[in-house]
């Protein structure tokens, strides 16, 4: 008897995931390991985008719990308020795509644990809210992994034009998406945060598939 998930054959579920992925991408995606720093507005949207297309190994790192004020932009449910974000996100990802190995790490990232936490990642994806945490991660990762690709974001608040959010390749292995100026004090809403998350997720996808230009 064929193995099943929710009454469907595993093979059918896998073929369904593959059917609309870009030709010849799925095997490379399956082999990739992406570590996402932060599981909030950016991180939850990035993880779901990468999980849906079958990035084979995702590590999610965040110390925070789901709050009601997160739900206007972060991919959590009312029923998950109070849970560790990484645990809730893993739960959601598994419902979207069972072919992803997910490590949920409820931990605060600091300068001293970057070398350990990101060692096995092919690509580092930054998804913090705090600008000093973003700078800390870039600083520490550049020291620990001088050539590992790192995809980041800065500036996705308010209701400014979608087209002001762009991706820049700042160094050969450093990509930064965003408008570069808007701050969380303006308010943060799903549509614009998702644009920045989409930039990051697409850059990660392009890197996995051997297209390292913006």
Partner 1 sequence: MVIVNGEPVAEAVGLNIQTFLEQRQTPVDHVVVELNGHIIHRPEFENTTLSPNDKLELITFVGGGR
Contact status: 149 vs partner 1 (CB under 8 A): no
Contact status: 157 vs partner 1 (CB under 8 A): yes
Dihedral pair phi/psi, residue 126, rounded to 5°? -90, 130
Least CB distance to partner 1 at residue 92 (A): 17
Note whether 168 and 175 are within 8 A (CB).
yes
Q: What is the CA radius of gyration of the chain?
A: 17
Contacts of 69 (CB under 8 A, 6+ apart): none
Which 61-90 positions form the footprint of partner 1 (CB under 8 A)? 62, 64
Q: Which two tokens stand for residue 144?
A: 């620990």
Nearer to partner 1, 18 or 148 (CB): 148
Least CB distance to partner 1 at residue 46 (A): 10
Note whether 171 and 150 are within 8 A (CB).
no
- Write down the residue that tokens 């570590």 correspond to: 35
Least CB distance to partner 1 at residue 184 (A): 3
SS3 of residue 129 by DSSP: coil
Least CB distance to partner 1 at residue 181 (A): 6
Residues near partner 1 (CB under 8 A): 38-43, 62, 64, 127-132, 134-136, 138-139, 142-143, 152-157, 170, 174, 176, 178, 180-184, 186, 188, 193, 196
């Amino acid at each position: 008897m064929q193995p099943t998930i929710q009454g469907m054959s595993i093979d059918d579920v896998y073929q369904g995931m593959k059917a609309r992925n870009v030709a010849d991408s799925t095997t490379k995606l399956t082999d990739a390991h992406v570590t996402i720093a932060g599981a909030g507005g950016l991180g939850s949207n990035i993880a779901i985008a990468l999980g849906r297309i079958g990035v084979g190994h995702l590590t999610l790192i965040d110390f925070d719990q789901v709050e009601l004020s997160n739900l206007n932009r972060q991919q959590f449910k009312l029923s998950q308020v109070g849970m560790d974000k990484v645990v809730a996100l893993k739960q959601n990802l598994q419902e979207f795509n069972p072919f992803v190995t997910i490590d949920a790490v409820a931990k605060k990232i600091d300068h001293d644990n970057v070398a350990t936490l990101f060692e096995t990642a092919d690509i580092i994806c930054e998804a913090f809210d705090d600008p000093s945490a973003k700078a800390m991660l870039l600083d520490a990762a550049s020291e620990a992994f001088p050539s590992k690709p790192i995809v980041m974001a800065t500036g996705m608040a308010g209701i400014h034009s979608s087209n002001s959010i762009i991706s820049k390749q700042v160094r050969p292995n450093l990509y930064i998406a965003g408008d570069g100026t808007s701050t969380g004090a303006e308010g943060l809403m799903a549509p614009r945060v998702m644009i920045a998350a989409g930039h990051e997720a697409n850059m990660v996808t392009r890197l996995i598939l051997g297209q390292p230009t913006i």
